[in-house]
Amino acid sequence: MDFQNAFAISAAGMSVEKTRLDVTAMNLANMNSTKGTDGQLYRPLRVVASSGSDSFASQFSRQAGLNKLLPQVKIESMSVAPRVEHDPGHPDADANGNVSLPAVNHLTEMVNMTTALRAYEANVVAMNAAKTMALRALDIGGR
């Protein structure tokens, strides 16, 4: 059995989940900001991971390369309407006293963070299991 594939799959999963955690942290950090460094309203981000071609035939014909196992990760800004709150004392309030804030849902971001953390932990467990199997295989071969 080729253990490099198992390690590569777990490492790819850990990389994707770390990116999801970073994006979630960025969304939560900018949840109450009204302007970014460019003067624009912060737009929430999301991580999109894809494996490239989804057809079985294309996956089957390219099975040999490890680099084909790595997903393509993109960070996209979501096009959602801003959240509007009434706060006449805020420096960025409009004439009606309303302030536009990023449409970051705190609950959704916390759920994303929890699922990314659990998926990361699952990939660590899978990598440790593959490592243990590889070590046991070496022990069997050494006797």
Domain range list for the chain: 3-31+45-79+104-142
pLDDT of residue 53: 58
Which of the pair, 142 or 28, is modelled with greater confidence?
A: 28
Average pLDDT over residues 10-27: 94
SS (H, E, C) 55-115: CHHHHHHCCCCHHHCCCEEEEEECCCCCEEEECCCCCCCCCCCEEEECCCCHHHHHHHHHH
Note the pLDDT of residue 31. Answer: 93
Q: Phi and psi (nearest 5°) for 130?
A: -65, -40
Cα–Cα distance for residue pair 13/17, rounded to 1 Å: 6
Lowest-confidence pick of 10-14, 58-62, 84-88, 122-126: 58-62
Higher pLDDT, 27 or 67: 27
